[in-house]
Structure 1
Amino acid sequence: MSTTAQPIDRAPSRAGITLLAACLIAALLPTSITGTSVTLPAMGADLGSDLADLQWVVNAYDLTFASFLLACGSLSDIIGRRRMFLGGMTVFALCSLIAGAATDITLVDIVRGIAGIGAAAVITSASSALANAFDGAARARAFGFYGTCFGIGLAFGPLAAGALTSALDWRWFFYAQAIVAVVVIIAALRIPEGRNPEAPKVDWAGTFTFTSSLFLLILALVEGPQIGWAHPVVLLFLAGSALLLAGFVLVESRSAHPMFDLGLFRQPQYVALCVTPVALAFGFVALLVFLPSYFMAVDGISAADAGLLLLLLTAPTLVMPAVAGYASKWLSPRALLVTCMTLVAAGTAWLTVIEANIGVLSLAGPLLVIGIGFGISNGVLDGAAVSSVEPHRAGMAAGMFNTMRITGEVIAIAAMGSLMVSVTRSQLSDGIGDYAAAGSAGDVANQLAQGDLVTSATKVEESLRGAYTEFASTAYSGAMHEILWVLSAICLVTVPFLWVLCRPRKEEAAPEATTPGTETESPEPALSGSAS
């Protein structure tokens, strides 16, 4: 028996508060991801931590963030988006406060993992609440602002973290996050509530199988490059993930109120929207992580200077979401998605000009093209994803979409890290014997991937040090060229799939009948927004 959905509350004052809260977290959460990496050296020196423990400050957050997105998205439809938003934001604020006050790295790792769960709750409920607060062209503009704020967090997160760490202490980066979170909580108290009354109970079996499957998959991706892909533990994680995923499909196909409606994957446009951020993770996010290490290793610049250079890549994400929202008046989602993917593919191919001591002007072209392409996607994807389903299922759609996005980022970073080390090792192997004191090809490759050429160079006899530096830089550049061609190919192959999947279909012109004035109105295409 169906239940009448709640009317959508689109009062201007409440819609404005919803937009304010969503934009604040859109700036905050990317900062928490990209900025944390900048604080790790100071944190390690203060807490006496080794590299493995420090890496889990980032990995624990990414792991739980990705794993719990779909569960939180579905739960927000059931228990209410405002409740989920406020609960997640409270968890995030408390964990940030504890992380800043911690005196033990293990405690930091634990609370960062819990903070990831809070972030998952916030991001899915925010995007679905935003979709319900606005309609038509106003929704496109709202998601355009949302994407712009995401770009602000992405572009300036590392700089903000570096400034706070240098001027005060690494702890103040986490304290600042807690302060912003409290402001968001106060604003979010006036967000209108919304839920799906047709899903009256929690799908515990679906929640457990999917979350556990994704948790094991990402754990395998994190540990694989560290202990080896053939290691029994990694293989066990992968096998367990596959079995749990099969269990999830079986459970959901038999559930009257599934955590995720598998029928959404029969909608070609929704599939395209889920595939796009995965491909873009290879063309943009992976570069965001590994280019600073390249610049620090081959050019010998500081982390701060590498961050400034990276603004060529991230700055376009500040303006392009709004541009995409404006362009949506004339261009279809299909045209915008194909354009953004083509630009990223072209930019990564162009970036193969990269080499040691290359000038800023030579880098500006390809980095700006990639950033423009990614920025367009920030103005398209989230709004289109939540608008491709009925409003009362927006949380579920946002949950799966953001799960695909974050999982894609984890996969892209893990894959590029593994490729970077293996290809660099191959490039070094032919000539490293002439500089035996530097270490093995594998050791040097690992150091280069972490942005460190100095350690191996200082081991080499001084008379050979210049030649060795040039040799290692050339090998690293050669490896980067090979990987950039792979990244470009991944994005380019995605273009025809998007063109086919996003083509208009006749059945989309006939919306289902709904109860007037209820939340179950027919979905509208919206070209806007970004979340994570």
Structure 2
Amino acid sequence: MTFTRKEWHILSTVCLSMFLIPMNITSSSVIMLSLMKEYRLTYQESQWFINVFMVLYASFLPITGRLSDLFGRKRTFFIGLCLFFMGFVLGTLIESYQNIVISRGLCGIGAAAVTTSATSLLSTNIAEKNRKFSFSIFGTFLGVSMIVGPFLSSLLNDYSNGWIIYSTINLVILIPLLISSLFILERSKRESRAFDFCGSVLLTVVIFSLVSVASFFPVWGWDIKTKSICLLLSACLPLLFFAERKAVNPIVDLKLLSNKEFSSMSIISLLLGGGYISLMMYIPYILNKVTSLSAAQVGTVVMMSTLPSLMFPPLISKFRAQVNDNVLVAVTLMCLVISPLYLLAVISDASFVQLCFAMFFLGCSFGVSLSYLDGIAVSSVELEKSGLAAGTFNTFRIGGESIFIPLVSSFTAVFISKNVGIDIFYNERSEEFLSDKLQVLSSFSLILVITSLICFISSIPIMNRYRKLKS
């Protein structure tokens, strides 16, 4: 397996750039705890830190995916890195929670541009014989970054200026990446077809509305903001389907969903958003409420859930030619079904070691999927539509995560006082604390059962469909 210098340059730049996105996602749930303490935030107020990134990340995936096809993957990739850089610069200039939230939103838009153009750059500029191995390396970097996120943020939680240090680390990584991206040479030509502006705006509005309602309903309730967004959504959704059916070059090609391989991978990505990512976002908070673990121990437990993302992609890549896709899909779905039930069985009175193992098991589904999911989805379509496919696929994945994460938050908020905030850092065994602990534990247990049930029901048609496709 021989890579050209150009292929190594693209692979290394893309992998290091994508390293930042999972790191910022997995670290947010741990950083959130220190921000709650520093700015004396309630539970609902702290959700803006996570949700605003996910809202804008999901909303801009379709439009950035299409822009990468039309105006160049390199250009879209560079703009995404610039927005990421500007977001962290903004977050360090003015030390206020509102400014941090704004900077996170800017980073979310940049992350969308980097994500869609990154996978498209790999699929169009790496030779076919090297493509599977490249996506395995790509998955390894994603796995490492998922481990680095909670580990780094748990180390910085003890510092009063931990967020500033974290932002500075990101800026130091981004500077050489911005320079390196300028020297990327694209192999494929840009599409010369007209840009579906109407569909782009409608799709962005629909996703933004869906995720906003799911994200901020616990804060807003059924007030004028929620009603207005729901009214906007009900108006835009039928217009979107009508516009995309009539468009010559749609922003979301609905025909992609008729591709069984592409649609199967997209559904699995949705299940991973609900069965792994959304749970991992709130487990640090849950552990602080129901256990006496220190902040460092909580960070270690969360880090264990990301360890499979580091271990499995390089291990699977060594035997990728001998491992059938059906086996990888089956293992992913099996872990999604069983791991939440195992976590449910041990979380109430488990030791530190037991919790580490339970979280490792929870992360196995995502770790295995990193070795094949993106590569199969993007490679299953025509080369000239790879950017559109990457945007559509990542819309399913990130959109699912963006909806499932706030839904878990909404469910949890029903059982938790509006003024939780700072008290999660105190572990007195008072009657009030124990009552609150039982409420949190019961709500999270129900979430785990529902998650496992949904994954089990969904896995049956997926496996039947995928077996027929491969046979």
Pair 1:281-2:245 in alignment = no
Distance of 1:474 and 1:105 partners within structure 2: 30
Residue of structure 1 in register with 2:397 after alignment: 405
TM-score scaled by length of structure 2? 0.91
* Residue equivalent to 1:435: none
Cα drift, residue 56 of structure 1: 2.6
Does the Cα contact within 8 Å between 2:125 and 2:187 map onto a contact in 1?
no
Distance across 1 between alignment mates of 2:190 and 2:17: 27
Deviation at 1:68, TM superposition (A): 0.4
Would you say how many aligned residue pairs link Structure 1 and Structure 2? 469
Pair member with larger Rg: 1
RMSD: 2.7
Distance 2:357 2:39 in 1: 41
Q: Distance in 2 between matches of 1:235 and 1:62?
A: 21
Residue 184 of structure 1 is matched in structure 2 by: 177
Which of 313, 319, 337 aligns to 2:311? It is 319
Letter in structure 1 aligned against 2:103: V
Q: Partner residue of 1:62?
A: 54
Residue in 2 aligned with 1:106? Answer: 98
Aligned with 1:297 (options 289, 299, 303): 289
Matches of 1:319 and 1:287, distance apart in 2: 21
Which residue of structure 2 lines up, in the alignment, with residue 220 of structure 1? 213
Instruction: Return the match for 2:166 from 173, 183, 197.
Output: 173
Letter in 1 for 2:182: L
**Equivalence for 1:430:** none
- Give the partner amino acid of 1:290: Y
Confirm whether residue 502 of structure 1 aligns to residue 466 of structure 2: yes
The answer (yes or no) to whether the contact 2:317–2:371 under 8 Å persists in 1 is yes
Seq. identity, %: 26
**Does residue 476 of structure 1 match 2:440?**
yes
2:436 pairs with 1:443: no
| Distance in 1 (alpha carbons) for counterparts of 2:254 and 2:78 | 28
Native 8 Å contact 1:298 1:453 kept in 2: no
- Displacement after TM superposition at 1:133 (Å): 2.4
CA distance 1:365–1:330, shift in 2 (3 Å): same
Are the equivalent residues in 1 in contact too, given 2:91–2:103 (CA < 8 A)?
yes
* Counterparts of 1:272 and 1:393, CA distance in 2: 18
1:347-368, Cα deviation, whole Å (9 max, x unpaired): 1112221244411343344332
- 1:82-97 correspondence to structure 2 within 5 Å: 82-97=74-89
How big is each residue's C-alpha offset from its partner over 1:42-71, in whole Å with a ceiling of 9 and x where there is no partner?
556767877666543332221111100010
Instruction: Call closer, same or farther: CA 1:132–1:85 in 2, change over 3 Å.
Output: same
Q: Is it true that 1:265 corresponds to 2:257 in the alignment?
A: yes
Distance 1:90 1:468, change over 3 A: closer
The one-character-per-residue Cα deviations of 1:401-421 (angstroms, maximum 9, x if unpaired) are: 111111111221122222234
What amino acid is aligned across from residue 169 of structure 2 in structure 1? A
Q: 1:144 aligns with which of 136, 140, 143?
A: 136
Shift of 1:218: 1.0
What is the CA distance between 1:36 and its match in structure 2? 3.7
Instruction: Work out whether 1:30 is the aligned partner of 2:22.
Output: yes
Cα distance in 1 between the residues matched to 2:42 and 2:171: 26
Return the alpha-carbon distance in structure 1 between the equivalents of residues 362 and 38 of structure 2.
Answer: 37
- Partner-residue secondary structure (3-state), 1:93: helix
1:358 has 2:332 as partner? no
- Please give the per-residue CA displacement for 1:361-417, whole angstroms capped at 9, x wherever unaligned: 433443322222220011111111110111211111111111111111122112222
Aligned partner of 2:377 in structure 1 is 385
Distance 1:343 1:34, change over 3 A: closer
Q: Report what 2:454 is aligned to.
A: 490
Change (3 A) 1:309 1:196: same
In 1: Cα distance, 2:434 partner to 2:40 partner: 34
Is it true that 1:76 corresponds to 2:68 in the alignment? yes
AA partner of residue 479 (structure 1): S
Query: 2: CA distance between counterparts of 1:377 and 1:48?
Result: 38
Unaligned runs of 5+ in 2: none
From the two aligned structures, give the one with the greater helix fraction: 2
Aligned-pair distance for 1:103? 3.4
Among candidates 232, 235, 256, match of residue 240 of structure 1: 232
CA contact (8 A) 1:145 1:322 kept: yes
- Distance apart, 1:500 and its partner CA: 2.8
Tell me the amino acid that sits aligned with residue 176 of structure 2: V
8 Å Cα contact 2:65-2:116 kept in structure 1: yes
Give TM-score scaled by structure 1 length: 0.81
d(CA) in 1 for partners of 2:275 and 2:335? 10
Q: Quick check: 2:260–2:469 contact (8 Å CA) kept in 1?
A: no
Asked if 1 retains the 8 angstrom alpha-carbon contact of 2:251 and 2:388, the reply is yes
Secondary structure at the aligned position of 1:502 is classed as helix
User: SS state of the match for residue 256, structure 1?
Assistant: coil
Residue 110 of structure 1 and its aligned partner are, at CA, apart by: 2.5
